Amino acid sequence: MEAWVRAWLEEQRRKGAKCLEIKYVQDKPYVYRSTSVYDKATKSPKKVSTYLGRLTQEHGLIIKGTRERQVPVQPRSIREYGNPALLTDEFRDLLPVLQEAFPACWQEIVALTFTRVAGYTPLSRIGDAWEKLDNILEISPDCDPRTLSRVLTTVGGDRAAQQAAFQYLSSQSRQLVYDLSFVFSYSDTVNLAEFGYNAEGVWLPQVNIALFSATDTGLPVMIRALPGSVRDVATLVRSLQEIDIANITLILDRGFVSEANENLLTEAKIPFVLPQRRNNTRYATRIHLTDHFFYHKRLIHAGKREVDGLTLYLYEDADLAVEEQKTLYRLLEEGEIDRETLNRKLKRAGRILILSSVVAEPQAIYDLYKSRNLVENHFAVFKGLIQADKLYLRDATAVFGHLFIGFLCLYLYCRILNRIKQAGLSAHFSPKGLLLKLSKAYAAIYEEEKRIIDMPK
């Protein structure tokens, strides 16, 4: 009998309680009242035990038929659990790469990424935003704004470490889409920012950036800030030297159409898909539309022809041709174009010409061409995540660091988006909406345990 059980029994006896007996069942003490009665059949005393309840060290005797008395225990802390659990799960593949590439500040990088993936958070609020989240990774980042500012500069200045992350991501993909954009800067000390033309007509210094996205994984692969002309393929080739381009096909837009660019890509042995402008002289090349297929219920006639070691693919979208013909005849009636212009443009109505170094079925090349909207969507999300129109960082390396953190946020965003699509819930959730929904699941942390509460279905 344990000492505390014996002490309880002796205390009850001092209080006048009689006939109490302790029995152990599965190593737990139970209290009985044991008496004896005369059995006429056997003509001898017979022991009778009446169960009173279970004995516990914390609560004493728990009377039979009553529940254990619960003493309310207040949790030490309550933190959001659902959203950091999802972020941690989607970040696990890239995390070892970041740990090796940035051994001194990878924890701060994780804190910046997790707190900014749902929207831009200033450095001054990173600490408060991080403390709201359950620390599933059990890390201790220094979220002081001055430290985080130094981290951005350190990350931006270590191109080799960034390249390690880009190499890992590019090794997971086979088809890359390349696009260019810019972010405005209000700082007059960033030598990378230059005044230039933009479709928004805003006269502010802008940092030109290039983004590579993988059409087969739906994930961003690489981001880079570019000096000078953003349509220079030499810059593109130098960017590709930083990642794994084995077995990769590059998908470009019409802005790169030029003989010099085509030669440079061919010499670099980079497979490419390049749509041609409507006024390109290659449209005069005779190509028979011998194939057909359907793309999103639209009938597409197709054909191809080899020219100077490359392949021209010609497509005619039947629905698009009708719409363009209607538009051209309306412009004729309104006097916007003459009959000669009408006849010239009718020959190319609904037609799309693509030059490629890849020899494949026309439908495969068309699918690659249509996948270009992926990188455009990525740019739209990326600018929202970094609040690109209000970039106040004072030097180029800090800008590079800021863009890299934004890239990691975009990576996480797209991972979550892929999971939503796989679950067939795209009509119900966006990544930000899902993170908000999961933020309602909390981790209540007590002295020796963690309890998950309010988990949404």
- What pLDDT is stored for residue 229 in this prediction? 47
Q: Which distant-in-sequence residues (6+ apart) come within 8 Å of 105 by Cβ?
A: 151, 154, 155
Q: Show Cβ contacts of residue 244 under 8 Å, excluding neighbours closer than 6 positions.
A: 167, 170, 171
Residue 48 has a pLDDT of 81
CA 338 to chain centroid: 51
Instruction: Provide the pLDDT for residue 202.
Output: 46
- With a CB cutoff of 8 Å and minimum separation 6, the contacts of 54 are 28, 29, 30, 31, 61, 62
Spans of the chain below 70 pLDDT: 65-75, 179-207, 226-247, 383-394, 447-448, 454-457
pTM check: above 0.85: no
Say what the pLDDT of residue 329 is: 93
pLDDT of residue 141: 95
Q: What is the pLDDT of residue 131?
A: 92
Per-residue pLDDT at 184: 46
Residue with tokens 């440079």: 264
**What is the tens place of the pLDDT at every residue in 124-143?**
999 999 999 999 999 999 99
Q: Measured between alpha carbons, how far apart are the two ends of the chain, in Å? A: 48
pLDDT reported for residue 385: 66
Give the pLDDT score at 181: 65
**Residue owning tokens 């000492």:** 3
